[in-house]
Structures are given as C-alpha cells and as structure tokens.
Structure 1
Amino acid sequence: MNKTNLNPMKQLPSKEERHKLFGSVEPGPRTKPVEKNKMADLQNSKKDFLFDIDVVGISNVKHPIRIHSSLKPEIQTTIGTFRFSSSIKKGSKGTNMSRFTEQLDKYHNEGFAIDLYTLKAFTKELAERLKQEDAYVEVTFPWFFERKGPFSQLTGLNHANATLKVNYDIHTGYDIEVALQGTITTLCPCSKEISEYSAHNQRGQVTMSVKLTDDFNEQEVDWKAALLEAAESNASARIHPVLKRPDEKAVTEQAYENPRFVEDIVRLVAADLYEMPFVQSFYVACRNEESIHLHDAIAELHYDKTSE
C-alpha cells in the first residue's frame, strides 16, 4: 500500500512573537485612574455649550424580543432593531450612551415583551435614568403571521415589518405611533382595459404609519392585524407563501377582478384607516415594483382627523 508523503510542518514563531511581528507592542505606563469615581466624566460637563440638542442617542441596536399577535403564531420571538434618544439642554455637554443599553439589558433580563404598556414604562424609566425631561424609543421588527391557500388551505408563514415609536415628555406625556409595511399584489387597470386578454401585475409595498388616540387599548385591538387587513383587503390579491394550482387559479382570477392603481390603493387604505376609531392621524404610501417597466410607481398621502 502506497503511503502519501507529507511535507514536514513549518516551525512557526510563538504566538507572542507572531503578534510582535504584526505590530503588537508592550503596554505603556499606566498613569490614569481605573476607579470609576476617580475618572473624568466629560459627558457630564456643565457649561454653556451654545445650543440645545433635539436628538442624541444610539440607533441600529439589534436585540431579541418577544411579541404577541392575534394571528398565529400568537407568541413569537423575533429580532428588534432599536433606536433610543433624548434631548439635552445646552448646559450639558452630552448624554450617557451606556445608559440606553443598560436599560435594554434590564428589560431583557425581565423578559422583554414588545407591547405599548411595556414600552411606555420603558421610555419613562429611560428618561429618569438619563436624568432628562424626555426620551424616545423606536423598535422595528419582522412580524410573522399564518396564511392559508384560498382553495387548498395549506398553511405557511408570511411576514410584515412592524414599528412602534414611543415618545415620552415629562410635561406633555406620551406620543405614540405605530407603522406597518406589508406586501400585496396589484393588477394594472389600464393594462386590463386596453388589452385583448391578460394584464400585467406587480408586487406592491404598502406602508402605513398611524398616530394612536390616547384611549387606544392594545388588549382589545391588535394594531398589527388591523393595519395588515387595511392593506391586504384593498389589494388586487393577497400574497401567499404556499399555492397549489387551484390556489394559483383563484388568486390570479381575484387579481383580474380587482384591478388597482397605486392611487387606488392609498385612497382605499386611507378610507379603512379613517374609519378606525383608535386612529388619530395617518400616512399611507404604496410602491409598485412594475413588471413591464424598470421604474417603480408610487403614491402617498397624509391625513389628520383632528383637523376636520
């Protein structure tokens, strides 16, 4: 039996010598204090620093969270992307950035469920921890929901991007907004009208941002499901993770029977949001990824029910 001849292993310098080879040097003299109470605290310097700052904080903080849903799966773990901030007066040089993540870790250890009740408590406590008069928390996360094929009833999971924004001010209280971006199917009314047969369709992204009324009760209404239904029920057809041939036939025929421009989508979704009693004001946008153009089609509108 032939034996494979192996080359002898190269003799490498020690790991310490390798580090020195690539630039590591010996530690220098240590002259500054290591005890926290003896260290300089530049962020807490008090002088006239010229201007108040509206927003200072941290963003793009990813962290596991738990959410509840009225649609299956009713309890799910997902990843939240956070933004934390507060304002500071011109008499303070800066904020203590570590306190944002300290607050996040505290709530994580207690089991961080993302709901309005918890986020309101989180934001108020954050302002107190920062020793500021206000604080702001925003979290965006993928929310999953079960969807059945219209004919086969075979299930799969779709997802939408949900956002919660809570602003707390010691003088004015809470200001709360929620947002959802969902995906729909749209079929072009013009294409259907002028063509002998068929019509082009596209995937649409519907974005809704809603300011909630002060008396909104999350125990009674799942705002995620309500906004999703506003988008999907006004589309040409819904998006499905699992479609057998009878399902596909049903979905494509439904789209053909319900043609929609982007203008139609934002107006129809706006009408649903207008009728929701817990909605104070709203923003709706639709972006269609056109299948026969290189560009996208867009439409958007704002409406404030309190201005009527």
Structure 2
Amino acid sequence: MNKFETLPKKQLPNKAERHKLFGSVEPGPKTKPVEKSKMADLQNTKKDFLFDLDEVGITNVKHPIVITSNLHPETQTSIGTFRFTSAIEKTSKGTNMSRFTEQLNLYHEAGFSADIATLKRFTKDLAERLKQRDAEITVTFPWFYERRGPQSDLSGMNHADCGITVAYDQKKGFNVSTSLSVPVTTLCPCSKEISEYSAHNQRGYVTMEINLDDNVDETKLDWKEQLLNAAESNASSRLHPVLKRPDEKMVTEAAYENPRFVEDMVRLVAADLYEMPFVKKFKVVCRNEESIHMHDAIASVTYDKKHAETSI
C-alpha cells in the first residue's frame, strides 16, 4: 500500500445503537410528580434535627464581576469566586441552595459590581430571600492595575489577589473584612551585611487581612489602592511587568538600598495600617520564597486597635 491509498471506510452503528453499546438503557416508568407544587420539599422539613448549624450554603462559585478602582483601569471585568452561607436552626433540615444562585443571577443582570455597598445589599437581600436571620458572602478575585517602569515609563499590567467578606445579622448589622495579597521584592539584610559584594533577594508575598470601619465610602476611598501601597512602599522594591535596562538598574539599586527581613516587612506594613483610620483590626503576613535556601521564610502580626486602646 502506498502512502496515497486509503483504508476502507468504517461502517459505524447509528448514534442510538452506539449509546446502547456503551450501556444506555430505555427510560423506565415515571411515577413521581413533575409539578413543583406536588414535589416533596425535604429542605423545608420541620423537626428537631439535633443541632443548629453555623453555616450552610454553596462555595467555589465562579462568576463575572465588575471591579472599580482609583488606579488605571478604573473599571474592569474579572472573575469572582464566591462563597454564600447562612445559619439555620435545628428545626430546619436544610436550606434552599437554588436561592443563592438565583440571587447571584439577579444581581448579575443589573451589572454585579464587587464593591462593599453592593455586597452589603446583596447579603441583606439574601438573608430575606432565604428567610433566615443572617447571611454571609465572600468573593475573591484578581485585581489588575497599571504599573509603569520607573525610568522608561513603559506601562504593563500587574495584579494582586483581593477578597471581600460581608456578614449580615438582623440584630448585629454588618461586619466587613477585606484582604489583599501583593508580590514584592525583598533583599536579605544579613546577606548584604556579611558579603563583600552583592546580596541575595527573593520574591515576597505580603497578605493583609483587615476589618473595615462601618462608614467606609468606596466612592471616596479605594481600600485596594491603600493596601497595595502599604505593601509595596515598605518592600525592598516593587515588581514591574515591563523593565528596560535603565529601569532594571533603578529597581536593583533600590532593593539594595532597602533591605528587608520578613520580620521587617510585617512591622512596617503594620505601622501603615495602624495609621489608616478606616482599618479597625488587621493581620499582616509576609512569606519569602528564599533564593538560597530550600525553605520559605514567614512572619505575621495581628493587631486590634479597639482592644489595644481599651487595654491601655
């Protein structure tokens, strides 16, 4: 057979026969109702089910969202990963899972903006839809922002990982917390001190978790920008998507001039957060991917302004 000859065409059974070949069977008799009003509703069964549940709901829900920012681009579309929950009493067997996604789609049709004011409305509306006293929503998403080379002024896009959690309770009201994780450069102070020349540096990740003041107005203050600056301004150097040689010279020299241990990083960032009036409580973690060790280095600090003030 030469290379231009073809094999005889295979004769395949039709699609229905192929399905039978791989195990499909004909539908059996249907005896249960198809109308919703006649279907059993196990979730709404009322009995003594032994324990109240702190949370029940759905998680790992991915959905498009709109993000606004003071930094360019001021408006962007991203993908949010959602977690929706509510408490239920022991007299309820379960919750109505479909109501979570119904609520999400309702807000999506109006253009779901992942800002605190919108998430507050969403959480309160969700509690009412579920006929529960409370509800909680968490959304995490990548946030992109423009970064220009320090010398060339050439622009590119950096990103940080953001998170917002809003908890609503009929009696206690709202509790809002946010998080931001930012990659930075850190240069080892010990390496710089003991070496005749050079010093090793590494990629560091600064993660800040904060509890926000109840009166934060995102139309006047962008918490993402504030936390980003707290992490980057205290690092040995910022990261850049585009660097020409003059930029690289400035970045590496800046890192050498600003050595940082992980311990230094969390303390410096904590000082900035302490001075931000809209931050009530915070936790700062820095993790360095060490360039000359087989391990990472990590440090953290937690501070509650209200508790600290009352204990003085």
Q: What TM-score comes out, normalization by structure 2 length?
A: 0.97
How many Å separate the matches in 2 of 1:235 and 1:131?
A: 47
- Say which SS state the counterpart of residue 186 (structure 1) adopts: strand
Supply the AA of the counterpart residue of 1:145.
Y
Question: Counterparts in 2 of 1:224-263, with a 5 A limit?
Answer: 224-263=224-263
Question: Counterparts in 2 of 1:15-164, with a 5 A limit?
Answer: 15-164=15-164
How many Å separate the matches in 1 of 2:52 and 2:216?
A: 33
Supply the AA of the counterpart residue of 1:176.
V
- Say which SS state the counterpart of residue 10 (structure 2) adopts: coil
How many Å separate the matches in 2 of 1:284 and 1:73?
A: 27
How many Å separate the matches in 2 of 1:267 and 1:96?
A: 45
Aligned to 1:267: 267
Query: Per-residue deviation at 1:220?
Result: 1.2
Aligned to 1:222: 222
Supply the AA of the counterpart residue of 2:237.
A
2:206 is aligned with 1:206: yes
- Say which SS state the counterpart of residue 242 (structure 2) adopts: coil
Aligned to 1:300: 300
Gaps of 5+ in 2: none
Query: Number of paired residues?
Result: 307
RMSD between aligned residues: 0.9
- Say which SS state the counterpart of residue 40 (structure 2) adopts: coil
Aligned to 1:166: 166
Supply the AA of the counterpart residue of 1:168.
Y
Supply the AA of the counterpart residue of 2:199.
A
Assess, with a 3 A threshold, how the Cα gap between structure 1 residues 25 and 149 changes in structure 2: closer, same or farther.
same
Query: Per-residue deviation at 1:3?
Result: 9.0
Aligned to 2:279: 279
How many Å separate the matches in 1 of 2:3 and 2:156?
A: 54
How many Å separate the matches in 1 of 2:41 and 2:192?
A: 67
Supply the AA of the counterpart residue of 1:278.
F
Query: Per-residue deviation at 1:169?
Result: 0.3
Q: Deviations over 1:211-265 (max 9, x none)?
A: 0011211111100000000000000000000000010000000000000000000
How many Å separate the matches in 2 of 1:6 and 1:296?
A: 59
- Say which SS state the counterpart of residue 237 (structure 1) adopts: coil
How many Å separate the matches in 1 of 2:167 and 2:99?
A: 17
Query: Per-residue deviation at 1:162?
Result: 0.6
Query: Per-residue deviation at 1:4?
Result: 2.3
Assess, with a 3 A threshold, how the Cα gap between structure 1 residues 3 and 195 changes in structure 2: closer, same or farther.
closer
Supply the AA of the counterpart residue of 1:171.
K
- Say which SS state the counterpart of residue 120 (structure 1) adopts: helix
- Say which SS state the counterpart of residue 167 (structure 1) adopts: strand
Aligned to 1:13: 13
Supply the AA of the counterpart residue of 2:184.
I
Supply the AA of the counterpart residue of 1:59.
T
Query: Per-residue deviation at 1:209?
Result: 0.6
How many Å separate the matches in 1 of 2:21 and 2:121?
A: 53
How many Å separate the matches in 2 of 1:82 and 1:165?
A: 10
How many Å separate the matches in 1 of 2:290 and 2:272?
A: 25
